[in-house]
Structure 1
Amino acid sequence: MTPSLLLSSSAAVATPATVPSSDRRVGRFAGLDGLRAIAVLAVILFHLTPGAVPGGYLGVDVFFVISGFLITGLLLRERQSTGRIRLGAFWMRRARRLLPALALVVVSGSALALVLGGDVLVHLGRQVLGATTFSSNWLSIGAGQSYFDGTTPELFRNLWSLAVEEQFYLVWPLAMLVLLLVPSGRLRIGLVVALAVASAAAMWLIYLPGADATRVYYGTDTHCFGLAIGAAIAILLNEAPERLATLARRRFAAMIGAAFGAAAIVALCALAVSMPASAPFVYRGGLIGVALLTAVAILGSIGTGSVLGRVLDSAPLRWIGERSYGLYLWHWPVFVLVVAALPGWQRTGGDGWAMGAVALVITVGVSVASYRFVERPIRLNGFRATLRAWTSGWRASAPRLVAALAAVAIALVAVGASVAAIASDPGKTSSQVAVEQGERSIDSHRSPDATGGPTPGRPPAALPGGDQITAIGDSVMLASAPELQSTFPGIQIDAVVSRQLSSVPSILQGMVAAGTLRPTVLIGLGTNGPIDRSTLDAVRTIAGSAHDIVMINVQAPRGWTDGVNSTLSRFAQQYRDVELANWRDAIAGHLDLLARDQIHPGSAGGAIYARAVTDALQRLAELPPALGPNDFGLASIPL
């Protein structure tokens, strides 16, 4: 008879061939808590530290693979032991696992947002609706809200991944009922692998390099391959337990498996520090590579007596892994609220690290309390039994009664404050207001008859006028547009929110082909992600020697900005016809003139932005003429 999958109340699953002997008694899977710990630490470091772990977002994909693996194993085990899958009971277990901590985060976070006010209230109603219906990802896509947009500090942005998982939990049991009708185990595995391939292919094909990647990153259809890969592993272990048991008993095979698993974890850590979300590779093979590495790590850690499994089961990692759900839920809302509460602190350098440390301490504290008093009791005992335990004995003593009444009062106040917070949504953040003012200014200065080229018959001035300048930028340039237009009347501005430098070569090629590129090219990009030197070289090649280029460096509380500014500085130093507008240093002593995101300038900040551009243009204008061979006393080269 085929051995069934073993599962504990914590939803860990395994075959007898793969469960470490020390853990068979409790039916849990060795190593998975440690993998969860690595995943949640990567995500937390990605969000809370200034650029230390630029690829830490991949922890979400590690979670996806683990979830697909565990949930599929749970369903297979129930089918094998009872002959059926009870959908109602499955969904109730998921509700007991997920809803208590989620409700606590949403209610308390919304109430605190009301206290702080301002930007953290923007779009709060949509976010709460997404959290309560597990549709955050699709609501954000429908609203055009970018995951990479720094202008809107969404309080519950991290819940997009929970939405993807919960949609999987809703649909996958139904799909399993159909899948289990397929007589061939190999065919079942093949169908699930085909689902993973289709999802990864959709991400690859829909993604456009240089464009915003939110649609493919948030989409359940384009980002479910990790869940499918995890499911495929569970089906594989279920279909061939005897063969796997024989293999697991071979010490050499177990050592090889553990070695591959350890190498996969090392590779995941390397990607976490080297794979920024802006890289096209992420969406064209990178994330599915992360999912495959996670699969290898799982298989390498679960084998009988696996050294890797024992290492991942060390007390610190296991402790973090058991609380990983709460840590993930709390860390981002806490960080957003800390940033809102400390508007005078910068989000880079020492201040940035300090804010991250404050957020981390608060996150650990509330996560531990939530796990101890809310999540674990309800998961183990259910909603009604936990409620009875909370209320039992209240009438036995006055202190307990007072404590109970206080708890009820706090809960009612928090719920009321959450409703008030949703109603207080200002609609737009301070940075959005600045950006929209810039867009209106551009529209009001745009002539319907303008070709975008220089004014006929007007020679360029020593300091070029606006009719000699093409400006290409992102939302920072948009916010500064009124001041740029006032300083350089007639300037041609092409600026878009969330634009990245990688899109500029194609924009320039279009302008060159249309004959609308002006003699001076002003480029203000790098706020939304790292830049590549090869892109800068392509920009100069397309613009040609007939155009001067001014690069505007970056002020943003993002981990990649130092690298962006260094690359821009080296590029400007290398070429005579390229100059750097030092926006970062110009605004450094006036961060109070920026919106609360410390990125987008208001009117006074926009004037500093325009002045930095003017200074750069003045330096270009004051360069002496380039010398030819005869100017050095060299003879002309004969033809």
Structure 2
Amino acid sequence: MQTVAADDSRRLPGLDGLRALAVVAVMFFHADFAFARGGYLGVDLFFVLSGFLITRLLIDEVERSGTVAPLAFYARRARRLLPALFMMVAAATILACVAAPDALGRLRDDTFASALFLTNWHFIAQQTTYFEFTGRQPLLQHLWSLAIEEQFYLLWPLVVLGFLRVGGRIALGYAAIVLAIASALWMHTLATQLGYPERVDVSRVYFGTDTHALGLLAGAALAAFARRITDDAVLRTRLAHAAGFTAGSGALLATLGLFATLGENSGWLYPYGFAAAALCGVLLIVACIQPGGSFGALLDLQPLRWLGERSYGIYLWHWPIYLFTRPEIDLPLDPWPAFALRISLTLGVAALSYRYVEAPILGRATTGRVLAPRYAIGLVVAAIAVAQAFALRTDYAAAQAARAAAEAALLAKIEPPRAREDTVLLERGVRYAGGVTVVGDSVALGARATVEATLDDAVVYAQVGWQAADMLQLLQGIQAAGELRPKVLIHLGTNGYVTEQQLRKMLDLLRDREQVLFMNSRVPRRWMTANNALLKEVIPRYPNAVLIDWERASANKPEFFVTDGIHLSSAGKRAYVAGIVKAGRFRKLTVDVAVPADLRDALRPVEPEPSEPQDYSPTLVRYPEPIAADSFWREMARCESNSNWSDGGEFAGGLGIYVGSWREWGGGEFAETPDKATPEQQIVIANRISTQGWLRPDGSMQEPVGFFGWGCLRVIGRPTLMMFTPDSLLKQKFRPGQRGQAVRDLQTLLELPATGVYDTATAAATAAATAAPIKPAT
């Protein structure tokens, strides 16, 4: 990120326009627009500008004073960078506490790394990917470029001083060129070793200071040779001006072309794409600084200059603002309206930062006495942010609880009638003939239990972050071992671009399979459209291949997803598997019980008296899949413990599960007691207790006992239209006057008015029904 504040008295025309061009490209890229696939190269244009301007200042200082004062240089950098950076980190931390607790889990460590300008190496150590991240990305991820700059400038002043003393500007220029070529070659070598382009994620290469210094060094080399350009009389002629304008225009068009088309999966990106971007940046600067030239004036228009002067603040603020305003996730807006809001917020905050933080501190007339309070305020704000990052002991459970609350809020907004009307349904208790190998990423991994509960002889191979190259390698291994099932399901495209070569290799490998099902993706990232279009184009050419259009099936179905808009809720998992069953034409094996197939829970107020354990029927329906949606259990936790998942008051955990019950239904596989388990794990045990049961390690079954153990059931109601089989309903022990949904179910079965009150008529009809077989309700 180019952060030099130019002295207006020696200001070079057009460079602010280049800053504006770079930051706009980055903003479009981070908004995931397909027309800005190469917008990340805006950072490389910043690098070239920064290398040029910083080296130019250092050369001037050495030629003026004979030396470089490193401490003064670093102090100027700190004055330029830190105040606005402090404000951004503080604001991002506070906003995360309020609006995005799911982002807190890694914010503390990221804050440390950013304070030390080691963000890029921190992300490399954490194996953080830049291009293929799903969900909410790290709030401080964009500071990687700032870290590269500051690491570069830690030694560069001394390098400049040494070469200027030994061989002058020419020696410095050639040294910078050699170092730039070395960095580019190392980038290419390391990317090849990491498997690029088959393995698209080579973030080590992208984040590394050693591999990504090409732009900085190219700009530095230009600064060393710049005097020949500015002092050469030949370059002041009319013909030279025309040539300079033409070259600058060509470089500008080439840069825009790179921004528009050079996606991160391009086979020639490392290093040729970055080298092309650096070369274009050098040509643009040359055209701008040509004496008397008109190209610099073209890029010096007031709107571009305004953006360029504020480009540092725009870059700092746009990323956290984007992460708090994700379209169709945080905001009920499509990408373009959301982008308009994002840009407005970014420009507004950056303008305030420039006026009240950056410009006053950089003002030449500003005295130390005036600056001291501003520094003090900045330090206090930073201290608050860091203290909060320390205080945020965001263990996994707390972060998950916050995410769960957000998911429940999202589901609460869904209009139940619409959800029931539009949803493709699975019948509960039904299993299908399987014989299928499932390969996928975290989406398939999340649906694993539903797949295995629905499809007989289904084997799921899935891991978080898997891409097409990983899946291809796995399929080759499974086939070599002779363990591929007759049918294969592949879900790919969530984590990055899929190439046609990868897709065809998979299809060719699986030509001997009975059927190959490909599930496309729904992921709010720029590669979704390209990947799904590729699948749609290629798959019909293979006779045994079938495309499952998950993108279309899940359109306008927010109830299918958790808060990241990618991974599946309980309803989404069932719809996901329903699509597999339909496309694969799997044969139905058994029907244990007929239950109205509904992906939404019908929450109806009931007033049942809690039953004693002996009242639970031994024929209570046991379902392989949870009856209750996660939102039901979130609501239960709000009632039982005020959503205190780590305590729960009298008992333990957010759902108030007895420790004995926790252990009885297998909770020990997660944690010793409920309060030490995550909300998701507590929900798993609650589903076992209520409807699923648990297969013990010894092969015996711990049967479910229903929902009546939760006192808050009378407040929020049971989550199913028909919880019991007809036989088990008739065997329930009801008390005269008992109220509740179970009574309504019984009355419906007996074809009585569903008053929900166990009255004399209901008791008589029950007695009559138990004396003779009864036809099940339909």
TM-score range, shorter chain: 0.7 to 0.9
Distance in 1, Cα, partners of 2:570 & 2:248? 55
Do the aligned partners of 1:473 and 1:496 also contact (CA within 8 Å) in 2? yes
Aligned to 1:319: 306
- The match for 2:203 among 206, 211, 214 is 214
How far is the alpha carbon of 1:58 from its aligned partner? 0.8
Partner of 1:588, secondary structure, is coil
> Which runs of 5 or more residues in structure 1 are unaligned?
1-7, 13-24, 392-406, 435-461, 622-639
- The one-letter code of the counterpart of 2:250 is A
How far is the alpha carbon of 1:490 from its aligned partner? 4.5
Aligned to 2:135: 151
Give the direction of change, closer, same or farther, for the CA distance of 1:390–1:86 in structure 2 (3 Å limit). Answer: closer
Distance in 1, Cα, partners of 2:9 & 2:385? 43
Do the aligned partners of 2:322 and 2:342 also contact (CA within 8 Å) in 1? yes
- The one-letter code of the counterpart of 1:575 is Y
Distance in 2, Cα, partners of 1:90 & 1:264? 32
> Which runs of 5 or more residues in structure 2 are unaligned?
405-430, 589-778
Distance in 2, Cα, partners of 1:489 & 1:221? 52
Residues 1:105 and 2:88 aligned together: yes
- The one-letter code of the counterpart of 1:216 is V
Partner of 2:438, secondary structure, is strand
- The one-letter code of the counterpart of 1:475 is S
- The one-letter code of the counterpart of 1:30 is P
Residues 1:194 and 2:178 aligned together: yes
How far is the alpha carbon of 1:47 from its aligned partner? 1.5
Partner of 1:521, secondary structure, is strand
Distance in 2, Cα, partners of 1:122 & 1:278? 30
Structure with greater helix share of residues: 1
Distance in 1, Cα, partners of 2:118 & 2:520? 37
Distance in 1, Cα, partners of 2:4 & 2:338? 37
Q: Which moved more, 1:580-589 or 1:367-376?
A: 580-589
- The one-letter code of the counterpart of 2:105 is V
Give the direction of change, closer, same or farther, for the CA distance of 1:91–1:417 in structure 2 (3 Å limit). Answer: closer
Aligned to 2:725: none
- The match for 1:142 among 86, 103, 125 is 125
Q: Which moved more, 1:138-147 or 1:307-316?
A: 138-147
Map residues 344-359 of structure 1 onto 2, 5 A cutoff. 345=331, 351-359=334-342
Over aligned residues, Cα RMSD in angstroms? 3.1
For residues 201-224 of structure 1, give each alpha carbon's deviation from its aligned partner in whole angstroms, at most 9, with x where no partner exists. 222122222332211111111111
Give the direction of change, closer, same or farther, for the CA distance of 1:9–1:541 in structure 2 (3 Å limit). Answer: closer
Question: Which protein, 1 or 2, shows the higher relative CO under an 8 Å CA cutoff with sep ≥ 6?
Answer: 1
For residues 555-589 of structure 1, give each alpha carbon's deviation from its aligned partner in whole angstroms, at most 9, with x where no partner exists. 11123312322222233333321111222233334
Aligned to 2:5: 10
For residues 344-395 of structure 1, give each alpha carbon's deviation from its aligned partner in whole angstroms, at most 9, with x where no partner exists. 646xxx522222222211111111011011101101246834336879xxxx
Residues 1:562 and 2:529 aligned together: yes
Distance in 1, Cα, partners of 2:454 & 2:402? 22
Q: Which moved more, 1:303-312 or 1:474-483?
A: 474-483
Do the aligned partners of 1:323 and 1:368 also contact (CA within 8 Å) in 2? yes
- The one-letter code of the counterpart of 2:187 is M
Do the aligned partners of 2:177 and 2:218 also contact (CA within 8 Å) in 1? yes
Give the direction of change, closer, same or farther, for the CA distance of 1:90–1:245 in structure 2 (3 Å limit). Answer: same
- The one-letter code of the counterpart of 1:290 is A
Partner of 2:36, secondary structure, is coil
- The one-letter code of the counterpart of 1:166 is E
Distance in 1, Cα, partners of 2:587 & 2:492? 20
Larger radius of gyration: 2
- The one-letter code of the counterpart of 2:256 is C
How far is the alpha carbon of 1:520 from its aligned partner? 2.3
Aligned to 2:43: 60
Distance in 2, Cα, partners of 1:540 & 1:546? 10
Aligned to 1:444: none
- The match for 1:169 among 153, 156, 163 is 153
- The match for 1:227 among 216, 223, 227 is 216
Do the aligned partners of 2:442 and 2:464 also contact (CA within 8 Å) in 1? yes
- The match for 1:424 among 392, 397, 401 is 392
Residues 1:77 and 2:60 aligned together: yes
Give the direction of change, closer, same or farther, for the CA distance of 1:432–1:549 in structure 2 (3 Å limit). Answer: farther
- The one-letter code of the counterpart of 2:490 is I
Do the aligned partners of 1:120 and 1:336 also contact (CA within 8 Å) in 2? no
Partner of 1:183, secondary structure, is helix
Give the direction of change, closer, same or farther, for the CA distance of 1:619–1:36 in structure 2 (3 Å limit). Answer: farther
Aligned to 1:291: 278
Distance in 2, Cα, partners of 1:309 & 1:324? 18
How far is the alpha carbon of 1:528 from its aligned partner? 2.2
Aligned to 1:591: 558
Distance in 2, Cα, partners of 1:34 & 1:292? 17
TM-score (norm 1): 0.79
Do the aligned partners of 1:121 and 1:422 also contact (CA within 8 Å) in 2? no
How far is the alpha carbon of 1:108 from its aligned partner? 1.3
Give the direction of change, closer, same or farther, for the CA distance of 1:289–1:417 in structure 2 (3 Å limit). Answer: closer
- The match for 2:518 among 547, 551, 559 is 551
Give the direction of change, closer, same or farther, for the CA distance of 1:619–1:573 in structure 2 (3 Å limit). Answer: farther
Distance in 1, Cα, partners of 2:43 & 2:55? 18
- The match for 1:524 among 482, 488, 491 is 491
- The match for 1:614 among 568, 581, 601 is 581
Partner of 1:182, secondary structure, is helix
Aligned to 2:619: none
Partner of 2:9, secondary structure, is coil
Partner of 1:530, secondary structure, is coil
Distance in 1, Cα, partners of 2:219 & 2:26? 20
Do the aligned partners of 2:55 and 2:223 also contact (CA within 8 Å) in 1? yes
- The match for 2:114 among 122, 131, 141 is 131
Aligned to 2:363: 380
- The one-letter code of the counterpart of 2:334 is D
Distance in 2, Cα, partners of 1:433 & 1:498? 20
Map residues 358-507 of structure 1 onto 2, 5 A cutoff. 358-381=341-364, 384-387=368-371, 416=384, 419-424=387-392, 426-428=394-396, 465=434, 468-507=435-474
- The one-letter code of the counterpart of 1:363 is T
For residues 277-336 of structure 1, give each alpha carbon's deviation from its aligned partner in whole angstroms, at most 9, with x where no partner exists. 233432242112111111111112210122211100111111110100000000011111
Give the direction of change, closer, same or farther, for the CA distance of 1:279–1:184 in structure 2 (3 Å limit). Answer: same
Give the direction of change, closer, same or farther, for the CA distance of 1:431–1:55 in structure 2 (3 Å limit). Answer: farther
Aligned to 2:28: 45
How far is the alpha carbon of 1:63 from its aligned partner? 0.2
Among all aligned residue pairs of Structure 1 and Structure 2, give the percentage whose two residues are the same amino acid.
36
For residues 107-150 of structure 1, give each alpha carbon's deviation from its aligned partner in whole angstroms, at most 9, with x where no partner exists. 11111111114212120101211221111111111112222311
TM-score (norm 2): 0.66
Partner of 1:298, secondary structure, is helix
Distance in 1, Cα, partners of 2:372 & 2:176? 43
Do the aligned partners of 1:579 and 1:620 also contact (CA within 8 Å) in 2? no
